[in-house]
Structure 1
């Protein structure tokens, strides 16, 4: 048995991931300046764990709560806000796209590849079916998975929850392109531009200009991504600038041309949300006027609500009454981020910050772990609700515990190698 990743809830995918970076803009004595951001990641990944476990445990509770609040997507939105806040800071602190991309590669890929390997083991042992697309189109699928862009190439994910990595990768490309063009401080107009485009033309955007069934389109997109990345990694200013701009154009094209079948505005509103996090960072550091913070989040939330209402109207009259769940869900994510920001100079709960530190491993591994434990979880689902709640907490705790091991053995070494490589002078 596999546990459904439930990709498609609000916008549809309901899980999230903590791929965001290394900036250390705030903090308190005796605690990492990233503690408040780690605590937010911890909250986000706990929301994701609850969401996916609630397919088996506390189902009746989730059936009621889920009508008005999507816990998993709130976690997603919170992760995206955190990434929007820290990623541009990480790039601009380094001052060069080469060091930034080396850091990103060694931050994301080691655990990503380990997760795919574990998924292959589960498939070989019969605990999880081989993804159909990966089995029938191995070369095309491998190319898409290598780029972390399969969702935007209309290639089904081999790791069900990894759809968020495609949006993260696109965001990195966009940020790099803006940095290369010296437009990186225009975060407010960029966020409003994405939101305005979603409102104006979101429903008219193509579902898949480069559908995963079209071999050439996938390979061309991945080839452009590879060439852009290679150019940025050379460390040569002119070539890196060309690569960054090319990567940004590719990301923009994929975001605009490969919408989900139902939520055609996702490809525009998700980057709008991420750039909202960037607006908060820039206002905090007095790089732009404070009025952007008053305007951008409100506009993005309003557009998201309008698009959700449009979608519900299209689904039928009976669905319209659920329109509040979109502003509630995204609003909760925004409120959590705001609370974390306001409390950034306070001491964060150590356990929560530690969960945030390992949240990338938790995000990638938790469905695999829950799939392996499916018989136990099914048995627990027959128990009284209070016992189910304890079982859910125990399952989440086990996922965090296993992820701490992979963080120590996989993520930390990868980050160290990345820092060492980024510190070396580029070959010229």
Structure 2
């Protein structure tokens, strides 16, 4: 059994990754019709993803407060997610070249937009499909990082996660444009180029300094889910309203973190979570909303207890499992058509691939990130503002 401090979050991550992987396995084992019957009742894929989003919303403020330095935060984030991500991209391209995985249509038809979308991890919110379908969630993660880091850096007025969670949920009730920035291939290409340049400038501002203007650009990343949440039929979010609602879930996770540290009133927190849950029920489905809320509440209630080591271990490799289970499934389906054998090979193969990626890609990259020196920004300008972030009641 592992210690209780953050084991409950690892358990949530591990369970969420397993649910998503089994959701994608389901058509091969149960058959497409049976899979769709279950899907009509509850979208288990979105259930697993929204659990991930809640955990991200909870964890990212802790990471920012721990680093107290935006350079270290972003270096840590990029080294945490990019090495395994790039490995998954290379594996996917190899399987596509071997004819074992279907390429996204836009990879050849809209190469510039597709490549830049993958480079920034914003492909889904730029209207292009990832070479691996699960990549779509990384677009929301990146937007969340940009917004929250911008709010940390730009300290003229504190902004509450309550306002963001409720504001995004309210925005999801409006008839938002789905493709304002990417209705055509040419518009998607232009948007991808502009977003890539802006993202590069924002990250440069965070790492070497750049005043308050560029962090505001980072906060402005919210326009992608609000105005371009379903630019094409190739992306996963069904509308900008649903995209906005999923981003609201991440801010709900931040709200929970603040409530735990007595930085938000319990009634405010409860009301916010109920409003966000109602939005999820409307835009994703009531079964998903109930399942996500119930699962997180159960894990929260057990947060001071030890968690089973297999579940926390699964949490440790959850990111690699999330990235690599589709390539493993593609290989498995080529090897066998028997449902039982497919399940066994898929489970063993996915866990083995995830463990290997975590051991030889994720961990070395994380060790490298820990050697990054603290920047001068940690004691002046942007950095000094970030250190007090967690101590101000009702600020994001």
Q: TM-score, normalised by structure 1?
A: 0.81
Q: State the partner residue of 1:253.
A: 223
Q: State the partner residue of 1:209.
A: 181
Work out the number of aligned pairs and report it. 369
TM-align CA RMSD: 2.3
**How big is the shift at 1:147?**
0.6
**In 2, distance between residues paired with 1:295 and 1:164?**
26
Can you give the 5+ residue segments of structure 1 that lack an aligned partner in the other structure? 1-27, 309-325, 382-387
Can you give the 5+ residue segments of structure 2 that lack an aligned partner in the other structure? 233-237, 381-396
Deviations 1:227-260 (A, max 9, x none): 11111111x3xx15433221111x1121211022
**How big is the shift at 1:401?**
1.7
Query: In structure 2, do the counterparts of structure 1 residues 426 and 175 end up closer, same or farther at CA, with 3 Å as the change threshold?
Result: closer
More displaced 10-residue stretch of structure 1: 144-153 or 390-399:
390-399
Query: In structure 2, do the counterparts of structure 1 residues 49 and 206 end up closer, same or farther at CA, with 3 Å as the change threshold?
Result: closer
**How big is the shift at 1:212?**
6.5
**In 2, distance between residues paired with 1:240 and 1:47?**
42
Q: State the partner residue of 1:290.
A: 266
Q: State the partner residue of 2:388.
A: none
Q: State the partner residue of 1:96.
A: 69
**In 2, distance between residues paired with 1:409 and 1:47?**
24
Please point out which of 335, 338, 342 is paired with 1:380: 338
The higher relative CO (CA closer than 8 Å, separation ≥ 6) is in 2
Query: In structure 2, do the counterparts of structure 1 residues 192 and 374 end up closer, same or farther at CA, with 3 Å as the change threshold?
Result: same
Q: State the partner residue of 1:229.
A: 203
Correspondences of 1:78-157 after superposition (within 5 Å): 78-157=51-130
**How big is the shift at 1:275?**
0.5
Please point out which of 295, 314, 318 is paired with 1:355: 314
Q: Does the Cα contact within 8 Å between 2:281 and 2:287 map onto a contact in 1?
A: no
**How big is the shift at 1:70?**
1.7
Deviations 1:19-60 (A, max 9, x none): xxxxxxxxx9x6263211110011101111110000110236
Q: State the partner residue of 1:11.
A: none
Please point out which of 401, 412, 415 is paired with 2:352: 401
Q: Does the Cα contact within 8 Å between 2:225 and 2:240 map onto a contact in 1?
A: no
Q: Is 1:76 matched up with 2:49? A: yes
**How big is the shift at 1:410?**
0.5
Q: Is 1:337 matched up with 2:296? A: yes
Q: TM-score, normalised by structure 2?
A: 0.87
Runs (4 or more) in structure 1 with deviation over 4 Å come to: 422-428
Q: Is 1:420 matched up with 2:371? A: yes
SS class of match (1:228): helix
**In 1, distance between residues paired with 2:377 and 2:55?**
30
**In 1, distance between residues paired with 2:49 and 2:283?**
18
Q: State the partner residue of 1:194.
A: 168
